[in-house]
Copies of this chain bind each other. A is one copy, B any other.
Amino acid sequence: MKRLFTIALVTLTFLTIVRAQSVAERLGYPRDAKLLIVHGDDLGMAHSVNTATIKAFETGLVNSGSIMVPCPWLSEIAAYARANTRADLGLHLTLTSEWTNFRWGPVSSRDRVTSLLDKDGYFYLTETEAAAHADPKQVEMEIMAQIERARALGIQPTHLDSHMGTLYQNKALFELFLRVARSQKLPVRVAKAWFARADFLPSVLSQDDVYIDRILDINPTVAPKDWAKFYSDAIRKLEPGVTEIVIHLAYDDSEMQGATSNHPDWGAAWRQRDFEFFTSDAFRKLLQENQIKLITWRELGKLIK
Protein backbone atom coordinates (compact mmCIF):
# COMPACT_ATOMS: atom_id res chain seq x y z
CA MET A 1 0.00 0.00 0.00
CA LYS A 2 2.78 2.35 0.99
CA ARG A 3 4.62 1.35 -2.20
CA LEU A 4 1.56 2.07 -4.35
CA PHE A 5 1.19 5.45 -2.66
CA THR A 6 4.85 6.23 -3.38
CA ILE A 7 4.42 5.29 -7.07
CA ALA A 8 1.33 7.48 -7.30
CA LEU A 9 3.13 10.39 -5.68
CA VAL A 10 6.14 10.05 -7.99
CA THR A 11 3.86 9.84 -11.03
CA LEU A 12 1.88 12.90 -9.92
CA THR A 13 5.10 14.85 -9.31
CA PHE A 14 6.37 13.80 -12.72
CA LEU A 15 3.13 14.88 -14.39
CA THR A 16 3.24 18.21 -12.58
CA ILE A 17 6.78 18.77 -13.79
CA VAL A 18 5.73 17.86 -17.35
CA ARG A 19 2.76 20.22 -17.15
CA ALA A 20 4.90 22.97 -15.72
CA GLN A 21 7.14 22.96 -18.77
CA SER A 22 7.03 26.26 -20.56
CA VAL A 23 5.93 26.44 -24.19
CA ALA A 24 9.54 27.19 -25.08
CA GLU A 25 10.63 23.97 -23.36
CA ARG A 26 7.87 21.94 -24.96
CA LEU A 27 9.24 23.18 -28.29
CA GLY A 28 12.69 21.90 -27.29
CA TYR A 29 14.27 25.25 -26.45
CA PRO A 30 15.82 26.28 -23.13
CA ARG A 31 13.41 27.87 -20.64
CA ASP A 32 15.15 31.24 -21.01
CA ALA A 33 15.11 31.26 -24.82
CA LYS A 34 13.63 34.35 -26.44
CA LEU A 35 11.34 33.06 -29.17
CA LEU A 36 9.51 35.40 -31.52
CA ILE A 37 6.82 35.16 -34.17
CA VAL A 38 6.73 38.22 -36.46
CA HIS A 39 3.19 38.15 -37.75
CA GLY A 40 1.59 40.20 -40.55
CA ASP A 41 -2.18 40.49 -40.18
CA ASP A 42 -4.84 41.19 -42.84
CA LEU A 43 -3.58 39.18 -45.83
CA GLY A 44 -6.20 39.04 -48.56
CA MET A 45 -7.62 42.43 -47.64
CA ALA A 46 -5.91 44.42 -50.41
CA HIS A 47 -3.33 44.00 -53.14
CA SER A 48 -1.09 46.41 -51.24
CA VAL A 49 -1.25 44.23 -48.10
CA ASN A 50 -0.54 41.04 -50.06
CA THR A 51 2.41 42.39 -52.00
CA ALA A 52 4.05 44.16 -49.04
CA THR A 53 3.64 41.12 -46.77
CA ILE A 54 4.96 38.69 -49.38
CA LYS A 55 7.94 41.01 -49.92
CA ALA A 56 8.53 41.02 -46.15
CA PHE A 57 8.28 37.19 -46.03
CA GLU A 58 11.07 37.08 -48.62
CA THR A 59 13.43 38.89 -46.22
CA GLY A 60 12.92 36.09 -43.68
CA LEU A 61 12.34 38.71 -41.00
CA VAL A 62 8.57 38.48 -41.08
CA ASN A 63 7.78 34.80 -40.82
CA SER A 64 4.07 34.39 -40.24
CA GLY A 65 0.79 35.90 -41.32
CA SER A 66 -2.94 35.37 -41.40
CA ILE A 67 -5.53 35.59 -44.13
CA MET A 68 -8.95 37.25 -44.26
CA VAL A 69 -11.14 34.83 -46.22
CA PRO A 70 -14.09 37.18 -46.93
CA CYS A 71 -11.88 39.83 -48.52
CA PRO A 72 -11.58 40.56 -52.26
CA TRP A 73 -7.89 39.68 -52.67
CA LEU A 74 -8.16 36.20 -51.13
CA SER A 75 -7.46 34.47 -54.45
CA GLU A 76 -4.13 36.25 -54.81
CA ILE A 77 -2.85 35.15 -51.41
CA ALA A 78 -4.32 31.65 -51.87
CA ALA A 79 -2.17 31.29 -55.00
CA TYR A 80 0.85 32.30 -52.92
CA ALA A 81 -0.09 29.75 -50.24
CA ARG A 82 -0.40 26.96 -52.82
CA ALA A 83 3.02 27.85 -54.27
CA ASN A 84 4.68 28.23 -50.82
CA THR A 85 3.42 25.31 -48.77
CA ARG A 86 5.98 25.91 -45.99
CA ALA A 87 4.81 29.49 -45.40
CA ASP A 88 3.32 29.94 -41.93
CA LEU A 89 -0.14 31.15 -42.89
CA GLY A 90 -3.14 31.12 -40.60
CA LEU A 91 -6.65 32.45 -40.92
CA HIS A 92 -7.55 35.87 -39.61
CA LEU A 93 -11.20 34.97 -39.00
CA THR A 94 -13.19 37.99 -40.01
CA LEU A 95 -16.49 39.28 -38.62
CA THR A 96 -15.96 43.03 -39.12
CA SER A 97 -15.57 45.29 -42.16
CA GLU A 98 -14.01 48.43 -40.75
CA TRP A 99 -13.19 50.71 -43.71
CA THR A 100 -16.11 52.83 -44.80
CA ASN A 101 -15.19 53.05 -48.53
CA PHE A 102 -14.18 49.44 -48.99
CA ARG A 103 -16.24 46.65 -47.51
CA TRP A 104 -16.90 42.92 -47.34
CA GLY A 105 -19.42 40.48 -45.94
CA PRO A 106 -19.87 36.83 -45.04
CA VAL A 107 -18.76 33.70 -46.85
CA SER A 108 -21.86 31.84 -45.69
CA SER A 109 -25.30 32.47 -47.09
CA ARG A 110 -26.40 35.91 -46.04
CA ASP A 111 -29.86 34.88 -44.78
CA ARG A 112 -28.32 32.31 -42.43
CA VAL A 113 -26.01 34.82 -40.70
CA THR A 114 -28.23 37.89 -40.43
CA SER A 115 -26.98 38.65 -36.92
CA LEU A 116 -23.55 39.39 -38.41
CA LEU A 117 -24.76 41.99 -40.94
CA ASP A 118 -25.18 45.73 -40.64
CA LYS A 119 -27.98 47.64 -42.38
CA ASP A 120 -25.98 47.75 -45.63
CA GLY A 121 -25.49 43.97 -45.70
CA TYR A 122 -21.79 44.00 -44.76
CA PHE A 123 -20.12 42.92 -41.52
CA TYR A 124 -20.33 45.56 -38.78
CA LEU A 125 -17.70 48.31 -38.74
CA THR A 126 -16.50 47.60 -35.19
CA GLU A 127 -15.77 44.55 -33.06
CA THR A 128 -18.03 45.81 -30.27
CA GLU A 129 -21.04 46.12 -32.60
CA ALA A 130 -20.24 42.74 -34.13
CA ALA A 131 -20.00 41.05 -30.72
CA ALA A 132 -23.14 42.76 -29.41
CA HIS A 133 -25.30 41.53 -32.31
CA ALA A 134 -23.69 38.16 -33.01
CA ASP A 135 -25.67 34.96 -32.55
CA PRO A 136 -22.93 32.48 -31.51
CA LYS A 137 -24.43 29.72 -33.69
CA GLN A 138 -24.20 32.00 -36.72
CA VAL A 139 -20.65 32.97 -35.79
CA GLU A 140 -19.70 29.30 -35.64
CA MET A 141 -21.31 28.66 -39.04
CA GLU A 142 -19.49 31.63 -40.58
CA ILE A 143 -16.03 30.86 -39.20
CA MET A 144 -16.39 27.22 -40.27
CA ALA A 145 -17.38 28.47 -43.74
CA GLN A 146 -14.25 30.66 -43.81
CA ILE A 147 -12.04 27.70 -42.84
CA GLU A 148 -13.71 25.48 -45.44
CA ARG A 149 -13.33 28.04 -48.22
CA ALA A 150 -9.66 28.54 -47.34
CA ARG A 151 -9.03 24.79 -47.46
CA ALA A 152 -10.96 24.49 -50.74
CA LEU A 153 -8.59 27.10 -52.22
CA GLY A 154 -5.58 25.05 -51.12
CA ILE A 155 -4.67 27.02 -47.99
CA GLN A 156 -3.56 24.69 -45.16
CA PRO A 157 -3.82 27.02 -42.16
CA THR A 158 -1.27 26.66 -39.36
CA HIS A 159 -3.21 28.76 -36.84
CA LEU A 160 -6.30 30.84 -36.23
CA ASP A 161 -6.76 34.34 -34.97
CA SER A 162 -9.53 36.92 -35.00
CA HIS A 163 -9.59 40.16 -37.00
CA MET A 164 -9.97 43.10 -34.59
CA GLY A 165 -10.32 40.59 -31.77
CA THR A 166 -14.06 40.09 -32.21
CA LEU A 167 -13.85 36.47 -31.04
CA TYR A 168 -12.28 37.57 -27.74
CA GLN A 169 -15.03 40.08 -26.93
CA ASN A 170 -16.90 37.73 -24.59
CA LYS A 171 -16.79 34.24 -23.14
CA ALA A 172 -19.45 32.75 -25.45
CA LEU A 173 -17.57 33.87 -28.57
CA PHE A 174 -14.21 32.73 -27.26
CA GLU A 175 -15.65 29.33 -26.27
CA LEU A 176 -16.97 28.64 -29.74
CA PHE A 177 -13.74 29.96 -31.30
CA LEU A 178 -11.72 27.54 -29.19
CA ARG A 179 -14.14 24.68 -29.93
CA VAL A 180 -13.69 25.25 -33.66
CA ALA A 181 -9.89 25.54 -33.31
CA ARG A 182 -9.74 22.30 -31.28
CA SER A 183 -11.88 20.50 -33.88
CA GLN A 184 -9.38 21.65 -36.51
CA LYS A 185 -6.37 20.84 -34.26
CA LEU A 186 -5.08 24.38 -34.79
CA PRO A 187 -3.57 26.75 -32.22
CA VAL A 188 -5.26 30.09 -31.63
CA ARG A 189 -3.69 33.45 -30.88
CA VAL A 190 -3.93 33.59 -27.09
CA ALA A 191 -1.34 34.93 -24.70
CA LYS A 192 -1.00 34.30 -20.97
CA ALA A 193 -0.47 38.03 -20.61
CA TRP A 194 -4.12 38.53 -21.66
CA PHE A 195 -5.51 36.57 -18.68
CA ALA A 196 -5.57 39.69 -16.53
CA ARG A 197 -7.69 41.72 -18.95
CA ALA A 198 -10.01 38.88 -20.14
CA ASP A 199 -10.63 36.89 -17.00
CA PHE A 200 -12.73 34.22 -18.75
CA LEU A 201 -9.68 33.02 -20.71
CA PRO A 202 -8.10 30.71 -18.08
CA SER A 203 -11.45 29.08 -17.28
CA VAL A 204 -12.08 28.23 -20.95
CA LEU A 205 -8.53 27.13 -21.86
CA SER A 206 -7.32 23.70 -20.81
CA GLN A 207 -3.79 22.43 -20.31
CA ASP A 208 -3.99 20.74 -23.69
CA ASP A 209 -4.40 24.07 -25.49
CA VAL A 210 -1.24 25.64 -26.86
CA TYR A 211 -0.85 29.32 -26.23
CA ILE A 212 2.01 31.74 -26.03
CA ASP A 213 3.35 34.09 -23.40
CA ARG A 214 2.60 37.50 -24.79
CA ILE A 215 1.57 39.58 -27.81
CA LEU A 216 3.20 42.88 -28.66
CA ASP A 217 1.72 45.47 -30.95
CA ILE A 218 2.13 49.15 -31.56
CA ASN A 219 -0.72 51.56 -30.88
CA PRO A 220 -1.94 54.99 -31.92
CA THR A 221 -0.25 56.74 -28.98
CA VAL A 222 3.14 56.19 -30.68
CA ALA A 223 4.09 59.12 -32.93
CA PRO A 224 5.25 58.19 -36.45
CA LYS A 225 8.77 59.52 -35.70
CA ASP A 226 9.01 57.11 -32.73
CA TRP A 227 8.01 54.00 -34.72
CA ALA A 228 11.48 52.42 -34.95
CA LYS A 229 12.29 53.39 -31.37
CA PHE A 230 9.11 51.72 -30.04
CA TYR A 231 9.83 48.44 -31.80
CA SER A 232 13.58 48.56 -31.07
CA ASP A 233 12.97 49.10 -27.36
CA ALA A 234 10.42 46.28 -27.31
CA ILE A 235 12.89 43.90 -28.94
CA ARG A 236 15.75 44.88 -26.63
CA LYS A 237 13.52 44.29 -23.61
CA LEU A 238 12.01 41.07 -24.94
CA GLU A 239 11.44 38.61 -22.11
CA PRO A 240 12.15 34.89 -22.38
CA GLY A 241 9.32 32.72 -23.67
CA VAL A 242 7.20 32.91 -26.81
CA THR A 243 6.19 36.37 -27.99
CA GLU A 244 4.23 37.34 -31.09
CA ILE A 245 4.67 40.80 -32.59
CA VAL A 246 1.50 41.57 -34.50
CA ILE A 247 2.16 43.97 -37.36
CA HIS A 248 0.22 45.37 -40.33
CA LEU A 249 2.11 45.55 -43.59
CA ALA A 250 1.16 47.41 -46.76
CA TYR A 251 2.45 50.18 -48.94
CA ASP A 252 1.41 53.81 -48.51
CA ASP A 253 -0.10 53.73 -51.99
CA SER A 254 -3.31 54.90 -53.61
CA GLU A 255 -5.25 51.71 -52.87
CA MET A 256 -4.42 51.73 -49.14
CA GLN A 257 -4.86 55.49 -48.90
CA GLY A 258 -8.32 55.06 -50.45
CA ALA A 259 -9.28 52.23 -48.12
CA THR A 260 -8.10 53.94 -44.95
CA SER A 261 -8.65 57.58 -45.99
CA ASN A 262 -10.60 58.69 -42.95
CA HIS A 263 -8.80 56.50 -40.42
CA PRO A 264 -5.04 57.12 -39.95
CA ASP A 265 -4.80 54.48 -37.18
CA TRP A 266 -3.76 51.24 -38.91
CA GLY A 267 -3.89 53.30 -42.12
CA ALA A 268 -1.69 53.34 -45.23
CA ALA A 269 1.23 55.34 -43.75
CA TRP A 270 1.11 53.25 -40.55
CA ARG A 271 1.46 50.07 -42.58
CA GLN A 272 4.30 51.49 -44.69
CA ARG A 273 6.14 52.34 -41.43
CA ASP A 274 5.65 48.76 -40.20
CA PHE A 275 6.95 47.50 -43.55
CA GLU A 276 10.04 49.75 -43.37
CA PHE A 277 10.99 48.67 -39.87
CA PHE A 278 10.37 44.93 -40.18
CA THR A 279 12.25 44.56 -43.45
CA SER A 280 15.23 46.64 -42.27
CA ASP A 281 18.79 45.63 -41.52
CA ALA A 282 18.35 47.38 -38.19
CA PHE A 283 15.65 44.86 -37.23
CA ARG A 284 17.80 41.96 -38.42
CA LYS A 285 20.69 43.23 -36.30
CA LEU A 286 18.46 43.65 -33.23
CA LEU A 287 17.34 40.02 -33.50
CA GLN A 288 20.96 38.88 -33.66
CA GLU A 289 22.25 41.16 -30.89
CA ASN A 290 19.50 40.08 -28.54
CA GLN A 291 19.76 36.33 -29.29
CA ILE A 292 16.17 36.18 -30.48
CA LYS A 293 15.09 33.09 -32.36
CA LEU A 294 12.19 33.33 -34.82
CA ILE A 295 9.66 30.50 -34.56
CA THR A 296 6.30 29.88 -36.27
CA TRP A 297 2.80 28.75 -35.45
CA ARG A 298 3.56 25.64 -37.45
CA GLU A 299 5.97 24.55 -34.68
CA LEU A 300 3.44 25.44 -31.99
CA GLY A 301 0.74 23.48 -33.80
CA LYS A 302 2.84 20.31 -33.53
CA LEU A 303 2.39 20.41 -29.76
CA ILE A 304 -1.36 19.81 -30.19
CA LYS A 305 -2.30 16.20 -29.48
The 8 Å CB contact of A254, one of B108, B109, B254, is B254
* CB of A25 closer than 8 Å to a CB of B: no
How far apart sit A121 and B109, CA to CA, in the bound complex (Å)?
10
Q: Which of B50, B100, B107, B254 contacts A48 (CB 8 A)?
A: B254
Beyond A72-B72, A76-B101, is A152–B120 a contact (Cβ under 8 Å)?
A: yes
Instruction: Report whether B72 and A120 are in contact in the complex, using a CB–CB cutoff of 8 Å.
Output: no
Check A110 for interface membership: any CB of B closer than 8 A. Answer: yes
The interface residues of chain B lying within 8 Å CB-to-CB of A71 are 72
Any B CB within 8 A of the CB of A258: yes
Contact yes or no, A101 B73, CB < 8 A: yes
Q: List 30 A-B contacts (CB under 8 A).
A: A47-B101, A47-B254, A47-B255, A48-B255, A50-B258, A72-B72, A72-B102, A73-B101, A73-B102, A73-B258, A75-B100, A75-B101, A75-B120, A76-B101, A79-B101, A107-B121, A108-B110, A109-B111, A110-B110, A111-B111, A111-B112, A119-B152, A120-B149, A120-B152, A120-B153, A253-B253, A253-B254, A254-B254, A254-B255, A255-B255
Interface residue? A104 (CB, 8 A) = yes
> Which of these, B73, B79, B152, B258, contacts A76 with CB under 8 Å?
B258
Which residues of B sit under 8 angstroms from A100, Cβ to Cβ? Answer: 75
In the bound complex, residues from chain B placing their C-beta under 8 Å from that of A46 are 255
Q: Does A245 contact B (CB under 8 A)?
A: no
Whole-angstrom distance between the alpha carbons of A35 and B181 in the complex? 62
Inter-chain contacts of A76 with B (CB < 8 A) = 101-102, 258
Contacts of A74 in B (CB 8 A): 103
In the bound complex, CA of A153 to CA of B73 (Å)? 24
Q: Does A51 belong to the interface (CB within 8 Å)?
A: yes
Distance of A55 Cα from B76 Cα, bound (Å): 29
* Residues in A lying within 8 Å of B, measured CB to CB: 46-48, 50-51, 71-76, 79, 100-104, 107-112, 119-121, 149, 152-153, 251, 253-255, 258-259
Beyond contacts A50-B258, A75-B101: 14 other A-B pairs, Cβ-Cβ < 8 A, are A48-B254, A71-B72, A72-B103, A72-B104, A74-B103, A75-B100, A75-B102, A76-B101, A107-B121, A109-B111, A110-B110, A111-B112, A253-B254, A254-B255
Given contacts A109-B109, A254-B51, contact A103 B75 (CB under 8 A): yes
Q: Compute how far the CA of A277 lies from the CA of B75 in the bound complex, rounded to whole angstroms.
A: 33
Contacting residues, chain B, for A120 (C-beta < 8 A):
75, 149, 152-153
Are the CB atoms of A121 and B101 closer together than 8 Å? no
- Picked from B47, B102, B112, B119, the residue with its CB within 8 Å of the CB of A102 is B47
Chain B hits for A110, CB < 8 A: 108-110
Closest B residue to A47 by beta carbon equals B258
Kindly list the 8 A-B residue pairs having the minimum CB-CB distance in the complex, ordered from nearest: A47-B258, A255-B255, A76-B101, A109-B111, A109-B110, A72-B72, A109-B109, A75-B103
Contacts of A121 in B (CB 8 A): 107, 149
